[in-house]
Amino acid sequence: MTAKETIISGKAILGIEFGSTRIKAVLIDAENKPIAQGSHEWENQLVDGLWTYNIDRIWYGLQDCYADLRKNVIAQYDCEIEQLAAIGISAMMHGYMAFGGHDEKLLVPFRTWRNTNTGAAAAELSKLFNFNIPLRWSISHLYQCILDGEEHVKDITYLTTLAGYIHWRLTGQKVLGVGDASGMLPVDSNTKSYDKEMVRKFNELVAPKGYPWKLEDILPKSLSAGEDAGTLTAHGAERLDISGHLKPGCPLCPPEGDAGTGMTATNAVKQRTGNVSAGTSSFSMIVLEKSLSKPNEMIDMVTTPDGSPVAMVHCNNCTSDINAWVKLFKEYQELLGVPVDMNQVYALLYNNALKGDADCGGVLAYNYISGEPVTGLAEGRPMVVRSANDKFNLANFIRTNLYATVAVLKIGNDVLFKEEKIKVDRITGHGGLFKTPGVGQRILAAALNSPISVMETAGEGGAWGIALLAGFLVNNHRNLSLPDYLDDVVFAGNTGTEIAPTPEDVAGFNAYIEQYKAGLAIEQAAVKAKKA
């Protein structure tokens, strides 16, 4: 089939992912190739000290993203999207969306993964469960609300993530993919559902409060990739496509978090594979052969979309600060009257950075737009630090800001590779850091002292990943496992382009990271001295 025939016949598959700065839709054909895209730019807001997205903006963003996709389909193929073979919904993981009342409305504004106000709750739950519970996980948010005596807690009837919320409103089903579920509460990889002992301990912990709910009653049902997660209702079709052309009835795969879709999009769901997603935030995912020797607050244990254990290092900050610096250079070009092509600006600055010193000449950058739990910062202050004798030039300046995008990621992964002796055969990168060919790849290879692969599809991102999971639901005619389906059907042996680290780059990054860790006291002092 041609792309147009695929769309007209209702065989196309739609993936939509809510990222931190962009909502993206990807339409794929039966060969898993993207045939159309749509997007909507958005940004979180800091309201009453908490990072959030307004619920009306969530729906406007979804509808505008789909409308952009529809417009592009009409322009490219001169046809309408009337039916789809399947849909997948993905979103940034974790956070807190609590619903209640007879109409099950949102009880408090959506609290995103970026919030770091849950320290007391996360610490207490980590001790109770003997399991690292990160600040951003839904269970941390819930328990922090309990510790803070928030009134709405008694009224909760349903607790879910952003992906789970959108899926629920489109299908009526209160379900969640196991990968996203594992970021709400730890999951037992044997049962592919929430750890029963931890559920019991939590219920006992909060029993004196007398809430009318039990934890297991307010969480979404955990589903593995390929399981039935409901179909698009008439109301759901109207909410997604306000033009009224899209018909209801197509199946939806289990909604997943951006970590799961990143693993899928990089073919990293098999043991001893890993991936790094580097955009507004960054995280690495290494699929484990065995459990870690002990809990570590830098390492989050989650799962693949089919329930295998994964060691995750999550960093709140990645490219936001370097993007801000690049925009300054754009402004300078505009002042000179030079036409601005942002892709060219990035390419020139990033490639020039590779000419800098391997240790950045002593110049340090901290890209902490928000707090960074891995390094113990509840708040952030972006800054560049240098002494009079450091080699301060443009190449070193951009290079240190590139190093900063993956510095915290290195600190966490050093625990996995040096202390836990984890083995990995392939790490694949995707996300905005890798858009300029070769540069982000080389920086990450130096940081992790490991070859890094990037595929041509890296730019498709999580929306393509969730579309692949939707395809796994309806096109897995051979009943393959998810790893085998990705290996045999989707990627067919393609492992991308690999860059190996050089000894000079590794030595330079290691010298840089030691200075970086020593300089964290400067960041801490800045947070204390300048309150937002």
* pLDDT digits 0-9 by tens, 97-141: 999 998 999 999 999 988 989 999 999 999 999 999 999 999 999
pLDDT above 90 as % of the chain: 87
Cα separation, 135 vs 114, in Å, equals 9
* pLDDT digits 0-9 by tens, 166-178: 999 999 999 999 9
Averaged pLDDT score across all residues of the chain: 95
Cα separation, 79 vs 315, in Å, equals 42
> Are residues 474 and 338 part of one domain?
no
> Are residues 435 and 372 part of one domain?
no
Hunting for tokens 């060219």 — which residue is that?
344
> Are residues 471 and 369 part of one domain?
no
> Are residues 324 and 311 part of one domain?
no
* pLDDT digits 0-9 by tens, 300-334: 999 999 999 999 998 999 999 999 999 999 999 99
Is 207 among the domain residues?
no
Q: Specify the pLDDT at position 220.
A: 98
The answer to whether 430 touches 265, Cβ cutoff 8 Å, is: yes
The span from the first CA to the last CA of the chain, in angstroms, equals 56
Confidence of residue 145 (pLDDT cuts 50, 70, 90): very high
**Residue 266 belongs to domain spanning:** 258-316+412-499
The answer to whether 276 touches 111, Cβ cutoff 8 Å, is: no
Is 449 among the domain residues?
yes
> Are residues 430 and 297 part of one domain?
yes
Is 435 among the domain residues?
yes
Is 387 among the domain residues?
yes
The answer to whether 327 touches 350, Cβ cutoff 8 Å, is: no
How many helices (H) does the chain have, and how many strands (E)? 18, 23
> Are residues 328 and 402 part of one domain?
yes
Closest C-alpha to 160, from 184, 131, 191, 136: 184
- 345-360 mean pLDDT: 97
Is 238 among the domain residues?
no
Q: Specify the pLDDT at position 204.
A: 98
Cα separation, 306 vs 179, in Å, equals 7
Q: How many domains does the chain fold into?
A: 2
CA atoms within 13 A on the CB side of 302: 32
What percent of the residues of the chain are helix, what percent strand, and what percent coil, each to the nearest 5? 45, 20, 35
CATH code: domain of residue 429: 3.30.420.40
Q: Specify the pLDDT at position 458.
A: 56
Cα separation, 324 vs 329, in Å, equals 9
> Are residues 467 and 391 part of one domain?
no
Longest pairwise C-alpha distance within the chain? 67
> Are residues 404 and 286 part of one domain?
no
> Are residues 514 and 376 part of one domain?
yes
pLDDT top residue among 99 and 295: 99
The answer to whether 390 touches 519, Cβ cutoff 8 Å, is: no
Closest C-alpha to 457, from 487, 496, 427: 496
Query: Could you give the angle at which helices 394-414 and 320-336 cross, rounded to 10 degrees?
Result: 170
Is 64 among the domain residues?
no
> Are residues 386 and 340 part of one domain?
yes
pLDDT top residue among 427 and 279: 427
- 219-225 mean pLDDT: 98
The answer to whether 411 touches 512, Cβ cutoff 8 Å, is: no
- 17-23 mean pLDDT: 93
Cα separation, 379 vs 530, in Å, equals 10
Q: Specify the pLDDT at position 459.
A: 57
Closest C-alpha to 209, from 142, 158, 160, 159: 142
Hunting for tokens 């931190």 — which residue is that?
20
SS3 197: helix
Mapping DSSP onto H, E and C, the string for 435-459 reads CCCCHHHHHHHHHHCCCEEECHHHH
Is 227 among the domain residues?
no
* pLDDT digits 0-9 by tens, 39-94: 999 999 999 999 999 999 999 999 999 999 999 999 999 999 999 999 999 999 98
Length of the chain equals 532
Closest C-alpha to 267, from 421, 82, 110, 488: 488
Q: Specify the pLDDT at position 457.
A: 64
Is 467 among the domain residues?
yes
> Are residues 326 and 308 part of one domain?
no
Amino acid (one-letter) located at 173 = Q
Q: How far is CA 394 from CA 251, 356, 369, 490, in A?
A: 52, 8, 22, 42
> Are residues 327 and 300 part of one domain?
no
* pLDDT digits 0-9 by tens, 359-418: 999 999 999 998 998 899 989 999 999 999 999 999 999 999 999 999 999 999 999 999
